[in-house]
Amino acid sequence: MKAVATKLFLALCLFLTTSSLVAQDQRLRMGSRLPRDAFLSDFQLMSDILKQAHPGMYLHTSKEQFADDFAETVEKLRTAGNRPSLRQFFLLATEALDPIRCGHTYLLPPPSVQNKLQYGGKLFPIPIKVFGDKFYVDHRKTDLPFGTEIISINDRSAAELLSILGPLISQDGFVESFRKTYIEDNFPELYAIRFGFTESFELQVRQSDQSSVETISIPAKRASNLYDQAEPRASREGRELAFRIDFPNDSTAFIAIDTFDSGNGSPPFRLYKSTLKKFFSLVDRNDSFDNMIIDLRYNDGGYTRNEMLLYSYLTNNPFAEVDNAEILTSELPYKQHLDREYVTKGLAKYYQRTLSKDFEESYNGTLQISEDGNPIIPPNRKAFDGKIYVLIGGRTYSAGSSFCSRLKAAHPNVEFIGEETGGASGAFTAGTLLMYTLPNSRCKLAVPIIRYQTVKQTKSADRGVMPDYPVKQTLEDFRAGKDTVLQAALELVKDD
């Protein structure tokens, strides 16, 4: 009887505590202030979770250096006053994560702030394109003409904003290309997180056909109707479909694959699978196709299953998913702090079963992927054996970049064109992603728990896959709607 009463009491306490936290979260804004000790407690929890779950913490930074950097950041919080703001905590916590240099390890604002960023908040209304350290309008239906240079926003130059917003974005190793593209895609939200919501923006602009600088004021727009959703960014015109097939000349087949994801806003796996089958069947039936262009410039990753399926069409040899993979533990640490919206109890149990089955203890105390967890995959009987040209850039990330690492290491007849991939070329931490809620700030901490080694590493893993032919889109071609990188690939095909 006593035990039952105790359980009821604990359940009631949990309900009241949860209700209190939900209510607290609904009130939280980036300017909200909490006791310093509450934030320090979240800092310590964040550190403890990472040490127990993240197998790539010291891939790019030594254990000693990380400890020094983390302690320095904590000291900044200690001197931030008795009641720091949530924004101060968020910026410092993001700074503390930066030495890990893992693009899959990041912090999100609490749900109340995320909700405002997605729906009710007023944001910067113009999509931008970054060239060097300058901003340009990347839409044909905004308050400014397409291609207009935005010199400054609220008295901060484009170069200054790139410098300020960059550290908010986690990245693999020392790859800078990913941050630039992430800022392009998420500038309104990043600006609001860093500087807050505002009713209007004062801009200094220079239109593409003028040399004089003009100062104008534009109103902010609600996140829910930020852009004209019927029209894509100018830089993405013609990219409305995630998978695209073309035959630019009699000897060349072209396929663009913008994602290896399935569902959650991406096309279902069956569509991806049928697209590859259709494309490679057409190529296989036509002996004139000696060249293939694969466009992965917008492929930000997804499921390794999809990555492996594409690779099976490009090799004649059996292959494994990875050269190696490891985890620290098959148990999920700090389960009481897992965000149950992202990681339900059922999903957590599934993760633990899968990790226990696929990984086995190694001589160095870590858990390495087993042969059963890393089976040999046969090549497709319609595999292409001609010359391959792969278009890459800063958005080529995670599984997209991993695919490029594999192809570059193993395929004798491939050339990469464009810019450095946004994802690291060798070891990286991804796979099963755990999401935790820090109890006081209500911020969300994303922690990947599988460290992958796609291929045997012979060079530094600090950078992405480098192009054999570095090509960047020019401002002139951007304004003219020309695809500089694709045109360079077609010229290479012609020369070869």
Write down the pLDDT at residue 9.
27
* Gyration radius from the chain CA atoms: 24
Tell me: the pLDDT tens digits for 287-341?
A: 899 999 999 999 999 999 999 999 999 999 999 988 899 999 999 999 999 999 9
Write down the pLDDT at residue 457.
65
Instruction: Point out the least confidently predicted range of 96-105, 176-185, 212-221, 225-234.
Output: 225-234
Instruction: Point out the least confidently predicted range of 10-19, 99-108, 259-268, 274-283.
Output: 10-19
Instruction: Point out the least confidently predicted range of 1-5, 168-172, 242-246.
Output: 1-5
Residue whose entry in the numeric block shows the structure tokens 């946004």: 422
Report, as an integer, the average pLDDT of 67-77: 92
Band (pLDDT 50/70/90 cuts) for residue 120 is: confident
Of 168, 44, 45, 43, the closest CA to residue 98 belongs to: 168
pLDDT over 90 (residue 5): no
d(C-alpha 74, C-alpha 57), whole Å? 18
How many degrees, rounded to 5, is the angle at CA 66 between CA 61 and CA 71? 160
Residue 344 CB partners (closer than 8 Å, separation 6+): none
Are 329 and 367 spatial neighbours (Cβ–Cβ below 8 Å)? Answer: yes
> Which amino acid would we find at residue 200?
S
Write down the pLDDT at residue 231.
67
Report, as an integer, the average pLDDT of 7-30: 43
pLDDT over 70 (residue 146): yes
Mean residue pLDDT across the chain: 89
Band (pLDDT 50/70/90 cuts) for residue 13 is: very low
Residue 245 to residues 163, 265, 400: CA-CA distances in angstroms?
Answer: 38, 21, 18
Are 324 and 369 spatial neighbours (Cβ–Cβ below 8 Å)? Answer: yes
DSSP 3-state of 313: coil
**Strand bridging mode 106-108 / 122-123:** unpaired
d(C-alpha 332, C-alpha 436), whole Å? 11
Band (pLDDT 50/70/90 cuts) for residue 147 is: very high
Question: How much of the chain exceeds pLDDT 90, in percent?
Answer: 77
b (16+ CB within 10 A) / e for 40-57: bebbebbbebbeebbbbb
d(C-alpha 292, C-alpha 284), whole Å? 12
Pick the more confident residue, 231 or 332.
332
Band (pLDDT 50/70/90 cuts) for residue 12 is: very low
pLDDT over 80 (residue 25): no
Write down the pLDDT at residue 229.
52
Write down the pLDDT at residue 264.
78
pLDDT over 60 (residue 165): yes
d(C-alpha 254, C-alpha 237), whole Å? 17
DSSP 3-state of 368: strand
Write down the pLDDT at residue 345.
93
Write down the pLDDT at residue 230.
53
Are 172 and 422 spatial neighbours (Cβ–Cβ below 8 Å)? Answer: yes
Tell me: the pLDDT tens digits for 450-464?
A: 999 888 765 556 899
Of 168, 146, 150, 147, the closest CA to residue 159 belongs to: 150
Band (pLDDT 50/70/90 cuts) for residue 84 is: very high
Write down the pLDDT at residue 476.
93
269: phi then psi, degrees, rounded to nearest 5 = -60, -40
pLDDT over 50 (residue 371): yes
The full 3-state SS of 221-278, as one line of letters, equals EEHHHCCCCCCCCHHHCCCCCCEEEEEEECCEEEEEECCECCECCECCHHHHHHHHHH
Write down the pLDDT at residue 42.
97
Write down the pLDDT at residue 459.
54
d(C-alpha 271, C-alpha 242), whole Å? 10
**In sequence order, what DSSP letters do the residues of 31-96 get, joined into one string?**
T-B--HHHHHHHHHHHHHHHHHH-TTTTSSS-HHHHHHHHHHHHHHHHTS-SS-BHHHHHHHHHHH
Band (pLDDT 50/70/90 cuts) for residue 224 is: confident
pLDDT over 80 (residue 347): yes
Write down the pLDDT at residue 15.
31
How many CB atoms within 10 Å of residue 418? 29
Instruction: Point out the least confidently predicted range of 143-152, 222-231, 369-378.
Output: 222-231
Write down the pLDDT at residue 462.
85
pLDDT over 90 (residue 187): yes
Write down the pLDDT at residue 243.
96
How many CB atoms within 10 Å of residue 130? 19
- β-sheet bridge partners, residue 469: 417
